[in-house]
Amino acid sequence: MKGRSAITVLVAALIFFAGYAALFIAPDERTMHELMRIFYFHLSCWVAMFCALTLAFVANIAWLATRNPKWDWLGVASVEVGVVCCTGGLITGVLWGRPAWGIWWTWDARLTTTFILWILYICYLLLRGLIEEPQRRASLSAIFGIFAFLDTPLVYASNRLWRTQHPAPVIMGGPDAGLDAMMGKVLVVCIVAVMAMMILVLIDRYRLERLRHELDELRLAADARGADSNIVLTKGLP
Amino acid sequence: MTTARAAAIVLTKELRLEFRARELLSTTVVFALVVVVLFSFAFDPTAADSRRFGPGLLWIAFFFAGSLMLNPSFAREQSNQTLDALRMAPVSAFAILLGKMLANFIFMAISEAILVPVFAVLYNISITGIVGWLALVLVLGTLGLVITGTVFSAVAAHARRRELLLPLLLLPILAPLLIAAVEATASLFAEQPSLDRAWLAFLGGFDIVFLTASWLLADFLLEE
């Protein structure tokens, strides 16, 4: 328990440092000036979301293949964390869009894709809430998760064919793309900080799901014995 | 028994059920018609407006109608546990799914065949020269709708509030299909009708991706 608290404090410190670095250490940007500073966290959110949702996709397939409940816990934990990161990315994007583009929102390919992605994974969480049986909930939500993940590139491709307005990728973009060395370092710090926080929350959410599962098992066992479930629960919880 | 033969038997059973009651088809057609009529009240479109918004309206009406029509596909198997009986038959789960997809495709296709001419008359869009191409776009778009829709009908059948849940699961997944279908239809409805092959290929790609995924996941979808 002490180790966990220490890690939490460490990650919190890292986040504060990343915020400081983005605001004060990173050099001024030529055209966007201070506006640029939100980009460090904007991109970090997307990196974290991408990792979390890819992990969810892997967990969904692994659940169907192995039937090990651990994969189901990992699936729901990573989708929830992914949705939070997606919300963060959308909000920072909207905040940046107003002063930079003059509009809060535009139906550009990447914006639309992430918005649909956000809705799809919220639907995944809603679906889980509406199915009682644990086994069935795990399988059906895994199937929906796989469909949602497959849909994302199609949403992107269809919008790309249609219209786009988002700035060209800064990293690995065209020949003119690329970041100043200091900006690159700050960006790396921010990505590491957000990823660390994402992983920390993911682990906690996974543990919560495992505890819920154990609680359900205990309830079932108590019902089977016909005993007062409250007494068994207080003894059985770790 | 081959998958095709088993799917054909499920298809016959679905068609027989539907043509005895004729509940789904009539409600679907009337629902889509209501959407089309309400649109004309809400926007009072001119001829140019109809050309611009028509394709989107048509597809939104189909998608909404489809998301309601697909719900009973698996939900009605729940009430008497007939799905368990179906699963006991020595056929693959995909055959059952495929039979239901084909049945839903036929129901949607009939509804569309009734609605498109009515729509063309109400919104003054001439479709006489483009019937063949329009049919192709409708077939590819409807396939995408029924493939994902039938799978999600099976998903939603086990959930509470399934009537609400199915449109919620289905409509966001269909976003790319909607764009492609609307764009392909819009190029056919334009003053100089043309066939947009890129969007047509996209529609076909969507169908193939999700049909393959349904084939791979059918056993998990219909387990027990």
- At A167-206, the pLDDT tens digits run 655 555 554 556 677 778 888 888 888 888 899 999 989 9
* Cβ neighbours of A212 (radius 10 Å): 13
A150: contact with B, CB 8 A cutoff = yes
The token duo for A224 is: 């089977």
Query: How many beta carbons lie within 10 A of that of residue A196, not counting itself?
Result: 18
Interchain pair A151, B173: CB under 8 A: yes
In contact, A13 and A198? CB cutoff 8 Å: no
Shortest alpha-carbon distance between residue B22 and chain A (Å) = 30
Query: Using the beta-carbon criterion (under 8 Å), do A130 and B176 form an inter-chain contact?
Result: no
Greater model confidence, B194 or B35 = B35
Distance CA B113, CA B41 (A): 24
Residue A223 lies in a domain: no
Query: For residue A236, what pLDDT band results from cuts at 50, 70 and 90?
Result: very low
Residue A66: how many CB atoms within 10 A of its CB? Answer: 10
What pLDDT, in 10s, does the model give residues A110-145?
788 889 899 999 999 999 989 888 888 899 999 999
A206 within some domain? yes
> Two tokens at B45?
């479109």
Integer Cα distance of A175 and B43 in angstroms: 47
* Confidence class for position B47, pLDDT limits 50, 70, 90: confident
Residue A179 lies in a domain: yes
Query: CA A235, CA B120: separation in Å to the nearest integer?
Result: 70
Contact B105, B143 (CB under 8 A): yes
Q: Is a pLDDT exceeding 70 seen at residue B156?
A: yes
Distance between CA atoms of residues A137 and B85, nearest Å:
22
Within a domain: A51: yes
**Residues 38-67 of chain A whose Cβ lies under 8 A from any Cβ of chain B:** 64
Asked if residue B62 has pLDDT above 90, the reply is: yes
pLDDT of residue A170: 56
**How far apart are alpha carbons B133 and B144 in whole angstroms?**
17
Q: Are A118 and A86 in contact (CB under 8 A)?
A: yes
Identify which of B165, B179, B217 has the shortest CB distance to residue A130: B165
Nearest to B63 by CA among B171, B199, B220, B173: B171
Q: Nearest 5 degrees, angle CA A111-CA A116-CA A122?
A: 130
CB proximity A203 to B under 8 Å: no
| Other beta carbons within 10 Å of A37 | 21
Residue A225 lies in a domain: no
**Which residue, chain included where needed, has tokens 């909207």?**
A94
SS3 A108: coil
Whether A57 is in a domain gets the answer yes
- A27 pLDDT above the threshold of 70: yes
pLDDT at A235 over 50: no
Position B61 confidence tier, pLDDT thresholds 50, 70, 90: very high
A139 touches A62 (CB < 8 A): no
A196: domain CATH number is: 1.20.120
Q: Do B169 and A144 touch (CB under 8 A)?
A: yes
pLDDT in tens, A77-93: 999 999 999 999 999 88
Is residue A229 one of the residues assigned to a domain?
no
> Is residue A230 in some structural domain?
no
**Chain A residues within 8 A of B168 when measuring between CB atoms:** 123, 126
What does the alpha-carbon distance between residue B84 and residue A45 come to, in Å, rounded to a whole number? 45
Check CB contact of A130 with chain B, cutoff 8 Å: yes
Rounded distance between C-alpha atoms, residue A108 and residue B98, angstroms: 36
Q: How many domains does chain A have?
A: 1
Chain A CB contacts of B205 under 8 Å are 154
Across the A/B interface, how many CB contacts are shorter than 8 Å? 80
Note whether A158 contacts B: Cβ–Cβ < 8 A.
yes
Q: Which residue of A has its CA nearest to B158?
A: A131
**pLDDT score, position A230:** 54
8 Å CB contact of B217 and A64:
yes
Of A9-18, A223-232, B79-88, B156-165, which gets the smallest average pLDDT? A223-232
